[in-house]
Chains A and B, each alone.
Chain A
Amino acid sequence: MNAPNASGWKPHMGTAEAATAATASGDRALNLEEALIFELAGPGGCGVDMEAPALPPVAGLERFLRQAPAALPGLSEPEVVRHYTRLSRQNYAIDLGPFPLGSCTMKHNPRLNEKVARLPGFADIHPLQPKHTVPGALEAIAQLADWLIALTGMAAVAMTPKAGAHGELCGLLCIRAALDARGENREVVLVPESAHGTNPATAAFAGFRVENIPATADGRVDLAALTARLGPDIAGVMITNPNTCGLFERDMKAISDAVHGVGGFVYCDGANFNAIVGKVRPGDLGVDAMHINLHKTFSTPHGGGGPGSGPVVLSAALAPFAPLPFAQRGADGAVHLIEEEEAPADHPASFGRMAAFHGQMGMFTRALAYILSHGADGLRQVAEDAVLNANYVLRSLEDVLDAPFAAAGPCMHEALFSDNGLPEGFSTLDIAKGLIDEGFHPMTVYFPLVVHGAMLVEPTETESKAGLDRFIASLRSLATRARAGDETLQSAPHFAPRRRVDETLAARKPRLVWQADAA
């Protein structure tokens, strides 16, 4: 309203045209563009004060000396703080609002976890310090291991894998090692069509041949087709449960029994364990190996793409083959870190080391703080609220968006919609980009591949009902606009720092590093 305030002073409000005029700087108030560091300063500067070296290089080093310093700018602290702060404001984040990426599990990251991970007793210890100087670190790893084993009902856990896909690799290498120990050369791993791309990629990386298993009309693994394919060449299956359609695999135990019946192993992709933590123990369903993405279920921050952490729980049949180092509690309750030196006596069948050092300690401490905060009761509530929130979204939108499996019953932690019913010329992408203008991060789109134009919405348990209601209202509005043929949706986003980005150009003429003459 253009009304005088209590003092009688009346601001001049300007015209609508003035609001859209170009600015000299290219910035618009809080919408700030930011140059590359290479454009902010040339080489030569330095934002770190340090003393001069008191000694010159040793004589033996002279022939190896670098001819010229790397051509990299060094900026003062105020410039650096401003550069990264301005860049940060071009990002959407869970701290800003819902981030409902199905299968990715973007939940609140408690700050207590950041605090404890930075305690010097965890953050400032070297991986090769004498073991007797780090009993608290080994105990922290073992306590997390104890929780993971209890929550999954499994026999052991390999803590070292660096991320989910690395955990998949760990599980498959355990299976390979177990088959080798039996003197069997089984070549085939069965993977459902709806699986994450990492599953077939990992199986191939581990030297297996991948065959697809079809799905049933209700979005589950086709048990009959799977059973028909089983035989002596099957090393195992990789099943995601709950699966990537957000559905629980009702036949999981029957699948496990059938695979075990022919001498194979069951790998479960635990990416969606957050839906069932505290409610179901995968060990009760016959699983032999399952990775747990600590950055999903146990809320270590995603950090714009990592670091992850992917411990793998193992059945008694696979535990002997777990990689080194392997943290194990002795009969006395003390934790023993089994490395190459101790392995011949204490862990002789291990398939070896899959990375340097002991795993993602900084993620272990965060996950342990998360787990201790929730406790057994709170973790169960996590799964229940995650599933409740997803079903609330599903039932609040199924009248305006096609939900291919909704008629068959509830979903788990994520609600799946398709582009079926959107008018000609409107796609899942338009809905996703429209959500950006609404102030939300889009859902996962075009995954799983088994559903056309898939939209996979995972609200997680850390969204409030009021927040979900706002999200649902926006998605309803977008679906309605698409049905009404609102063409402005096809060019969304309109209000983001960037409009739709030319991905084809990026791939056709890759420019992967900055070059002065290319500007």
Chain B
Amino acid sequence: MRYLPLTPADRAAMLARIGADDIDALFADVPATALLAGPVAGLAPHASEMAVERHMARLAGQNLTAGAVPFFLGAGAYRHHIPASVDHLIQRGEFLTAYTPYQPEIAQGTLQVLFEFQTQVARLFGTDIANASMYDGSTACWEAIAMAGRVTRRKKAVLAAGLHPHYVSTAQTMARFTGDAILAATPLLAADAGDAATIAAIDGETAAVVVQYPDILGRIPDLAAIAEAAHARGALLVAVVTEPVALGLIEAPGHLGADIVVGEGQSLGVGLNFGGPYLGLFGARAKFVRQMPGRLCGETVDAEGKRAFVLTLSTREQHIRREKATSNICTNAGLCALAFSIHMSLLGGEGLARLAALNHARARATAEALAAIPGVEVVNDAYVHEFAVRLPTEARSAVRAMADRGVLGGVALGRLYPGAAGLENGLVVAASELTSDEDIAALVAAIKGVIA
């Protein structure tokens, strides 16, 4: 077996040194009834690298690859061009095959990356600080709700109707077990993001008001107004960003009064990967630092006074605090954070602004082309990279029919909100720098074809 260095002679010599007659002598603590006599039945034996690669390539070949067709899906996962250097650098063994940097003297590479990443996220979000990442946007969102509960000592969260439904479900699942109250609503297929309803739901018991920006339909809520209303009632504003590229164009949530900003960082550096692994981003006001979940990297010095970085404030974390920890999270999304950070280091703030403007221009071109189709209505009056349209037909079947014509034409709201009245004909369409004029023409033709 190509991954196992021990030879039969090694094994014999080692057993002799140990003083064991055979390998099963080392499994003596396993009850005889539970120790298997041979390989688990019904499973294949080992296979060559060539055979495994062939098998996996066959499975991969059965999928319709996003890059092979005109592609307009978003709704929480976004396709962008990733510079070649990103994937090259994250495959360096010193990053790929390192562990959590618990021994800082020989992990300054990972630690400095995390410190730079935290600074990039904080400046992108407009928050004082950021952590070293969470699993993904949806779990970061729940962690923010839980954190707001610790800060305010309240147990109620108001979720704006435009929050991604998977994020809503994740919060509802957790709240069912923690006893938090969650107020959630289904969005309307309309230009208005529903800020008034969000504000009206805030009361003196509210710990967190959670607002996605831009929201699931690509609309842009007025964060400043919601922040003011939340703060007036002693609640925290949690802003959720599922597409960080959008923050190249629209104001950072932290600059608009958000107390905690979380997000999905996948769109920079990580790729689609059928939904994971992704990258949870988490920023907040500095005064809340001791209530933050997740790893934090801080600057310090070594015994010779040289600048050094180290994981810090771990008294919040499970391996120290056990059942009193701020979260049970034990990992971050290290390699995805590295990819995000490299991509961001290439772009810089100016490049991100240009990329966002370009994404918006492609989205605008797409929206104007779709609006020209008789019977199709663009819902949004404002959007960055993604917008909703109302088709004259049920969108789920339209999406399936478009796929059969070789166009991945968007996400049907019926997939996200099964059975919700008034959303059946809704389609969320995302564009990016990868969207060509030919792609737009293909989408227009496909939609015309399926609604005809």
Contacts and interface: CB of A to CB of B under 8 A. Distances in A.
B200 interface: no
A37 B345 CA distance: 7
Contacts of B62: 121, 134-136, 139
A360 B279 CA distance: 11
Given A61-B220, A463-B5, A375 B105 contact: no
B110 A130 contact: no
Interface stretch (A13-21, A222-230, A390-398, A475-483): A390-398
Nearest to A442: B103
B11 A121 contact: no
Interface string A108-140: 111010111011111111111110111111011
B59 A93 contact: no
A381 interface: yes
Contacts, number: 727
Contact of A96 (B27, B58, B94): B94
Interface stretch (A3-11, A198-206, A260-268): A198-206
Contacts of B30: 248, 250, 276, 279-280
Given A58-B382, A304-B110, A362 B39 contact: no
A132 B130 contact: no
A52 B357 CA distance: 8
Contacts of A384: 23, 26
Contacts of B324: 204
A16 B179 CA distance: 68
Interface string A355-366: 111111111010
Nearest to A140: B59
B333 A362 contact: no
A331 interface: no
A330 to B, nearest CB: 17
A279 B38 CA distance: 8
A319 interface: no
A53 B357 CA distance: 6
Nearest to B92: A88
A108 B4 CA distance: 9
B65 A125 contact: yes
Given A162-B135, A250-B31, A46 B351 contact: yes
Interface stretch (B170-178, B202-210, B230-238): B170-178
Contacts of A183: none
A419 interface: no
Interface in B267-297: 271-278, 289, 295-297
Interface in A159-196: 162-166, 168-169, 173, 176, 196
Nearest to A510: B298
A142 to B, nearest CB: 10
A57 B154 CA distance: 40
A301 B332 contact: no
Contact of B64 (A80, A134, A203, A447): A134
A312 interface: no
Given A88-B94, A129-B408, A306-B334, A278 B129 contact: no
B335 A303 contact: yes
A498 interface: yes
Contacts of A48: 83, 346-347, 351, 355
B110 A91 contact: yes
B320 interface: yes
A215 B345 CA distance: 50
Interface in B1-18: 1-7, 10-11, 13-15, 17-18
Interface string A371-396: 01111111111101101110110111
A176 B174 CA distance: 11
A357 B46 contact: no
Given A201-B322, A496-B105, A302 B313 contact: no
A85 B89 contact: yes
A83 interface: yes
Interface string B69-107: 001010111010001010111111111111111011111
B350 A43 contact: yes
A336 interface: no
B108 A90 contact: yes
Contacts of A389: 6, 14
Given A396-B17, A512-B297, A356 B6 contact: no
B170 A307 contact: no
Nearest to A303: B335
B421 interface: no
Contact of A305 (B132, B249, B382): B132
Contact of B277 (A60, A74, A360, A512): A360
B97 A93 contact: yes
B164 A356 contact: yes
Nearest to A79: B345
A354 B130 CA distance: 23
Contacts of B360: 53, 55, 57-58, 61
B53 interface: yes
Report which residue of A67, A352, A356, A491 has the largest number of chain B beta carbons within 10 angstroms of its beta carbon.
A356
Q: Which 4 A-B pairs have the closest CB atoms?
A: A74-B348, A121-B60, A357-B275, A303-B335
12 contacts: A43-B348, A61-B384, A70-B124, A91-B98, A93-B98, A119-B57, A120-B68, A136-B63, A140-B60, A163-B331, A355-B136, A373-B2
Given A46-B346, A388-B23, A467-B5, 17 more contacts: A55-B365, A72-B120, A121-B59, A128-B411, A130-B399, A165-B328, A206-B178, A303-B335, A304-B110, A361-B275, A362-B277, A369-B53, A373-B2, A378-B4, A385-B4, A388-B14, A498-B308
